Amino acid sequence: MALMARQKRHAPETDRRAELVAELRRAVLESAGVSAETVRAGAASGRALPPPLQDYAAKVRDSAWRITDADIAALSAAGFSQDEVFEVSVAAALGAGLRSLHAGLDLIRGRGADAPGDP
Amino acid sequence: MRPAILDHGHRIRARMFLGLVRRSTGHPIDPVAQLALYRPGFFGRPFLALAGQVLRGPSFWTPAEREYLAAFTSGLNQCPFCVRMHTEVAKIESGGQLEPGRPQAARPQLLAVLPLLEQVSRDPVDADRANLDAARAAGVPDDAIVDALHISLIFGTINRLANTFGFAWESDRQVRLGAQVIHRLSYRLPGFLMR
């Protein structure tokens, strides 16, 4: 009973946190922006994007510590606005963060590496 | 910061606040706050709302232990900017007792969850159960493991943005000031700037 009471007390906090994760995901990936939602979804998940964005988003997700001024300058030179760079960067970073969260949650729920959560 | 719009593109109320902070402290605002104040509805507002809940809301882990996990995750993601800040905050929150990089001061459960966090940060696709089982065997409840995984989400995101946008500290003093602000405000910024 004590355990049940503790879990009951914890449940609203867990729900609140899930709601906050969903709000962050919606704001970054589904709100009105200068970039298309499909572009942000691709940056987050790794699905195909046009060449300069594809490589850039992969770099943000997988080796952001290697990004330099030259990467940002290359996107500007290719015609992307600063707000597009901002949005795609945030989407890619959040996608990587969600990938880590879901990998762990799937293990806890008994689902293995074959069923990663969709960012 | 890069792109430059993150330095100069804020709305007027945020620009006034950035100027006020610089004049009153002698340093620019914490770069994470500066990012959060740019188009706050797109990222900063929901991100800080989640960060506040995860890092200071109810949890198995003390605030200092969560800062320890934050610094650890930031190291995995090669983000020295965040390692520096959250090492400082961990020390403040623990009264100097807990310091990232000094595992002898940490309780065993905290150390037991680190391999799982390392695995989901470095290789989420091939994550297997061994590290989860080891954390459970060491007495870490599932709720606490889920709490720790949310720290991976928060820092997996902000570490990448800090590196992408070129965040840097001007001095140790700026880090100490920033850590005190996090300690006092628990990851909140004034509401009128975030709307």
Q: Is the pLDDT of residue A9 over 60?
A: no
What integer is the mean pLDDT of B181-194?
94
Measured in angstroms, the CA of B29 and the nearest CA of chain A are apart by 19
Q: How confident is the model at residue A113 (pLDDT cuts 50, 70, 90)?
A: low
Least confident of B60-69, B111-120, B126-135: B126-135
* A116 close to A99: Cβ distance less than 8 angstroms: yes
Crossing angle, helix A37-45 and helix A51-63, to 10 degrees? 40
pLDDT value, residue A12: 79
pLDDT above 70 (res A7): no
Instruction: State mean pLDDT over B129-149.
Output: 97
pLDDT of residue A3: 47
Contact A82 B9 (CB under 8 A): yes
Q: Is the pLDDT of residue B15 over 90?
A: yes
Q: What is the reported pLDDT for A14? A: 83
In a mutational test of the A interface, the residue from B32, B60, B132, B153 whose CB has the highest number of chain A CBs within 10 Å is: B153
The predicted structure's pLDDT at residue A112: 61
Q: Is B3 helix (H, G, I), strand (E, B) or coil?
A: coil
Q: Omega into B63 within 30° of 0, i.e. cis? A: no
Instruction: Quote the percentage of chain A above a pLDDT of 90.
Output: 77
Q: What is the pLDDT of residue A4?
A: 46
C-alpha span between B153 and A93 (Å, rounded): 10
Which residues of chain A does B82 touch, with a Cβ-Cβ cutoff of 8 Å? none
What HEC string does A60-96 produce? HHHHHHHCCHHHHHHHHHCCCCHHHHHHHHHHHHHHH
pLDDT surpassing 60 at residue A116: no
Is A27–B161 a contact, with Cβ atoms under 8 angstroms apart? no
Of A31, A61, A100, the CB nearest to B42: A31
Calculate how close chain B gets to A71, using CA atoms only, in Å: 9
| B70-106 pLDDT per residue, tens | 999 999 999 999 999 999 999 999 999 999 989 999 9
The answer to whether B158 contacts A93, with C-beta atoms less than 8 Å apart, is yes
Q: Is the pLDDT of residue A57 over 80?
A: yes
pLDDT at B28: 96
Average pLDDT over residues B110-122: 97
Chain B residue whose CA is closest to A90: B161
Task: Inspect the interface and report whether the beta carbons of B5 and A86 lie closer than 8 Å.
Answer: yes
For B146-155, what is the mean pLDDT? 98
| Residue spans of beta strands (DSSP E) within B24-76 | none
Q: How much is the pLDDT for A115?
A: 43
pLDDT at B97: 96
Q: How confident is the model at residue A111 (pLDDT cuts 50, 70, 90)?
A: confident
* Banded pLDDT at A93 (limits 50, 70, 90): very high
* Contact flag A90-B43 (C-beta cutoff 8 Å): yes
Q: Which of B119, B140, B160 to mutate to test the interface with A (most CBs of A within 10 A)?
A: B160
List phi, psi (to 5°) of B55.
-95, -20
